Amino acid sequence: MNDNQHRKLKGQTAIVTGASSGIGQAIAVALAESGANVTVNYHSDEAGAKETEARIEAVSGNCILVKGDIGKEHDVNRLFFQTREAFGDLHILISNAGIQKDSPFLEMSYADWDAVIKTNLYGAFMAANAAAKAFVGQELDEEVSKAAGKIVFISSVHDKIPWSGRVNYATSKGGTKMMMQSIAQELAPYKIRVNSISPGAIETPINEDQRDDEEEVRQMLAKIPYGRIGQPEEIGKAVCWLVSDEADYVTGATLYIDGGMTLYPSFGEG
């Protein structure tokens, strides 16, 4: 890869929500490696955010850390304010922050329903809203990016696969899908591209408990035709492409990165 290709996001600024671990951390590192200035947002895991920072420094990238709860309007506003203060214009939002609080529907508390919808859906709405407002208020510089702004929602295969015992999570992701498409339709005339990446089983803290149990791993792998769990870096690379000018004609799309999990694997034998 030549340096131009390597630093294809040079001069751009990105916010990654929930970037202290897992997929968010890998995305922040990948964007920084591609030349973008990155705001690493984290909720409470300061050690994780510092690890993201160290990994970004190791690839000669540039970042700031901003603590904040993406489900709270005040924190979201501060996140955008601090980013613009540090780096100027904003070009990319990766709405990644997400949580799971699983329980059977019959036992699900309102609090667990609320917490997941608040972070995964309200949070994604508020961040996207703040990003879009920033994008329309800026001057487009086609030397830096052909689009006026790019938003990527990190959704899930559960924006189309129903998931018992996780109605709060699956609802938040199904909602994200329709939100992404409606925003993409509305913002295309402003040259703002809006897309989703929907990962399947990726090796991150969110499914650590599932991966600790041999029987659960066997069940997980049975749902993945490609026969392995994915790595966070595989999402990071796809994000870098999706927000680059190479994908300038892509908007309103969902890219499933799931080793075939969405292919109804139980039908694999006819």
Residues identified as active-site? 169
Q: Which of 64, 86, 144, 206 binds ligand BGC (CB under 6 A)?
A: 206
Q: Which is nearer to ligand BGC, 82 or 156 (CB)?
A: 156
Interface with ligand BGC, residue 100, by CB under 6 A: yes
Q: How far is the CB of 211 from ligand BGC (least distance, A)?
A: 8
Token readout for 171 is: 């609802």
- Sketch the per residue contact string, 52 through 71, with ligand BGC: x for CB under 6 A, - otherwise: --------------------
Q: Which is nearer to ligand BGC, 61 or 199 (CB)?
A: 199
The Cα–Cα gap between 50 and 64 comes to: 10
Q: How far is the CB of 100 from ligand BGC (least distance, A)?
A: 6
Q: How far is the CB of 35 from ligand BGC (least distance, A)?
A: 29
CB-based burial label for 204 (10 Å; 0-12, 13-18, 19+): buried
Site stretch for ligand BGC (CB under 6 A), options 5-13, 20-28, 71-79, 198-206: 198-206
Q: How far is the CB of 210 from ligand BGC (least distance, A)?
A: 6
Site for ligand BGC in 148-187 (CB under 6 A): 156-158
Q: Which of 201, 235, 238, 239 binds ligand BGC (CB under 6 A)?
A: 201
Q: How far is the CB of 88 from ligand BGC (least distance, A)?
A: 34
Q: Which is nearer to ligand BGC, 89 or 112 (CB)?
A: 112
- How far CA 111 is from CA of 98, 116, 118, 162, 172, in Å, comes to 16, 9, 10, 21, 14
Q: How far is the CB of 59 from ligand BGC (least distance, A)?
A: 26
Q: Which is nearer to ligand BGC, 116 or 194 (CB)?
A: 116
110, 187, 175, 197: which is closest to 148 by C-alpha?
A: 187
Q: Which is nearer to ligand BGC, 41 or 168 (CB)?
A: 168
Q: Which is nearer to ligand BGC, 41 or 172 (CB)?
A: 172
Contact residues toward ligand BGC (CB under 6 A) are 100, 156-158, 200-201, 206-207, 210
